[in-house]
């Protein structure tokens, strides 16, 4: 009886470990395919889907060179899109435009690097038209998911990267970590 219970617990542990590994493997593979599609989008000027059945496409690349972080952003912020990469939150402007550009992603995959960014770090965002804009990290905040206070149509040129909080939590919660950055200018 004890062996049976021990075997069942070991099997359950293996299944859970496998599911966790699958999520991270899927995220890594997706970024490779997204990088290819993004490169093709810039070269051709046409939105290119990363795989034939995709319901989204790459719209930007985020890079933080100091910490060697790089990720491709997808159109939209649905749960399906966020499974493969950060999403460009609907009804927020493109990088470099007036207002607040908002990208959102999961804390345990594509935006894990947010915990390593420090105030003053430079964040480059390359749009699908090939134009790159540089932002400087100004501040961070933790807010409830329904009370961000972000005015996407504000007068400035800002970037907000959003993910769940706290970083080390294992279950979803109501809080979001926001990294606020201000546009420095275009990158030649």
- pLDDT tens for 136-171 read 999 999 999 888 888 888 889 999 999 999 998 888
pTM across the whole model? 0.84
Joined together, the tokens standing for residue 95 give: 């990088």
What is the rounded distance in angstroms from the CA atom of residue 161 to the CA atom of residue 17?
29
| Domain containing residue 176 | 2-187
Each residue's pLDDT tens digit, 78-122: 877 888 889 999 999 999 999 999 999 999 888 999 999 999 999
Q: Which residues contact 75 (CB under 8 A, 6 or more apart)?
A: 47, 56, 57, 58, 59, 81, 87, 88
Domains contained in the chain, number:
1
What is the rounded distance in angstroms from the CA atom of residue 51 to the CA atom of residue 95?
25
Domain holding 36: CATH number? 2.40.260.10
Q: Which residues contact 142 (CB under 8 A, 6 or more apart)?
A: 165, 175, 176, 177, 178
């Amino acid at each position: 009886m004890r062996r049976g219970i021990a075997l069942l617990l070991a099997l359950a542990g293996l299944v859970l470990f496998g599911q966790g590994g699958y999520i991270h493997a899927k995220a890594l593979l997706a970024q490779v395919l997204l990088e290819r599609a993004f490169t093709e989008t810039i070269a051709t000027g046409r939105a290119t889907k990363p795989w034939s059945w995709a319901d989204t496409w790459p719209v930007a690349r985020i890079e933080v060179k100091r910490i060697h972080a790089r990720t491709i952003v997808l159109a939209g912020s649905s749960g399906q899109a966020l499974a493969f990469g950060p999403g460009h939150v609907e009804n927020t402007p493109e990088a470099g435009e007036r207002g607040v550009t908002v990208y959102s992603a999961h804390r345990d995959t594509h935006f894990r690097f947010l915990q390593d960014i420090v105030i003053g770090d430079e964040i480059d965002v390359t749009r699908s038209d090939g134009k790159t804009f540089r932002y400087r990290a100004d501040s961070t905040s933790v807010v409830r998911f329904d009370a961000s206070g972000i005015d996407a149509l504000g007068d400035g040129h800002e970037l907000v990267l959003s993910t769940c909080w706290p970083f080390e939590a294992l279950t979803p919660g109501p809080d979001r970590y926001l990294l606020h950055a201000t546009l420095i200018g275009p990158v030649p």
